[in-house]
Amino acid sequence: MSENNLIIGTAPDSWGVWFADDEKQTPWQRFLDEVVEAGYKTIELGPYGYLPTDPARLADELTQRGLSISAGTVFTAFHRGITGDAWEQAWQPARQVAELTAALGGEHIVVIPAMWRDDVTGEAVESGTLDAAAWADLAGGHDRLGRILAEEYGLKQQFHSHADSHVCAQPEIERFLEVTDPAFTTLCLDTGHAEYGGASSVDLIRKYPERIGYLHLKQINPDILATVREQDMTWAAANIAGVMCEPPSGLPDLRQVIDEVEKLGRPIYGIVEQDMYPVKDFSVPLPIATRTRDYLLSCGSRTCV
């Protein structure tokens, strides 16, 4: 990473990619080409299997385009248990992502917790709150995962609070930080998901500067968010309704966020993630990604791509 504090990158998510394979998503070759055209140099892997999983082939594709990898992404449900099959269900896909990320020179693994209700039907698959035992498992699982990622792969675990998960609102995020080991678990502060849950990104940066390890930069349309809350919409339905909007038209104020991040005085990735699945027209993501990059670079004196 450079001497600049905030390194702007992007992710397949900003091209409408949620799954390894889906005809509604931008083809991976087009994604990589348009990332370069938009002016980015750093990307996340996205869902495992979307980009080629053979390290040599993917490295060649990236090198041809002058791109590098910042992180891979995994999904966990440690609050449901951390031993036996429960651990293996999390670890086996995490191992694949860790191996590929490390092979390509990435530094981080973004870890997203399971949602408590079905993303499509909206039906609750479990309670929306955790008891003391579940909180203990949640913390223990992430600390164990973070230790393995660090010791065996040289990777840093970045926990991503998420809409419709048990860690979404600010009290939940703060409790998670309090019960996990800072040596192995830091925060992927997603400004959009924080806003969605009523949390303040600026406040979290100020209160827990040493726990901010990575950023996802996005904004929420406050008017649509009000409708989402009124109608108790699922995260997927909220996205279709347009709750995620192009900066700088939404909240939080990313200039304020970037100002606080630059005060940390250390390099940190800020990855643009504008959820837009499903993409109805493959020509839509590129101009948005280009404008967003230009806007973010205008926000900070020590921000670069």
Note the pLDDT tens digit of each residue in 29-40. 999 999 999 999
Cα–Cα distance measured from residue 108 to residue 259, given in angstroms and rounded to the nearest whole number: 23
Q: Give the type of residue at 208.
A: Y
CB 140 within 8 A of CB 82: yes
Contact 225, 243 (CB under 8 A): yes
* CA-closest candidate to residue 217, choices 185, 239, 194: 194
**Quick one: CA torsion of 194, 186, 124, 74, rounded to 10 degrees?**
110
Q: Which phi and psi (to 5°) does residue 91 adopt?
A: -75, -40
Query: What pLDDT sits at residue 236?
Result: 85
Domain definitions of the chain by residue range = 6-304
The encoded tokens of residue 157 equal 């675990």
Write the pLDDT tens digit of every residue in 238-258: 988 999 999 999 999 999 999
- pLDDT tens readout for residues 141-193: 999 999 999 999 999 999 999 999 999 999 999 999 999 999 999 999 999 99
Beta strand extents in 127-260 (DSSP E only): 156-159, 186-190, 212-217, 219-220, 244-245
Structure tokens at 237: 């339905």
The one-letter code for the residue type at 58 is: L
> Quick one: CA torsion of 157, 162, 168, 174, rounded to 10 degrees?
10
Q: Determine the pLDDT at residue 1.
A: 47
In this predicted structure, the answer to whether residue 95 has a pLDDT above a threshold of 90 is: yes
Is residue 123 over pLDDT 90? no
Residue 84, Ramachandran bin (φ over 0: left; ψ between -120 and 50: alpha; else beta): left
- Type and span of the H or E element at 31: helix 28-38
Handedness of CA 192, 197, 199, 204 (dihedral sign): negative
User: Which of 3-17, 109-123, 266-280 has the weakest average pLDDT?
Assistant: 109-123
User: What CA–CA distances, in Å, run from 234 to 76, 119, 124, 145, 228?
Assistant: 19, 6, 10, 28, 8
Backbone angles phi and psi of 190, in degrees to 5: -90, 110
Positive or negative torsion for Cα 197, 199, 202, 204: negative
Cα–Cα distance for residue pair 197/166, rounded to 1 Å: 11
Phi then psi dihedrals of residue 282, to 5 deg = -65, -10
**Distant-in-sequence, close-in-space partners of 301: CB < 8 Å, separation ≥ 6:** 262
CB 288 within 8 Å of CB 246: yes
Question: What superfamily would CATH give domain 6-304?
Answer: Divalent-metal-dependent TIM barrel enzymes (3.20.20.150)
1/264: higher pLDDT: 264
Kindly give, in sequence order, each residue whose CB lies less than 8 Å from that of residue 32, ignoring residues fewer than 6 positions away: 43, 51, 61, 62, 65, 67
**Regarding beta strands 108-113 and 186-190, do their DSSP bridges make them parallel or antiparallel, or are they unpaired?**
unpaired
pTM to 2 decimals?
0.96
| Residue 295 scores a pLDDT above 50 | yes
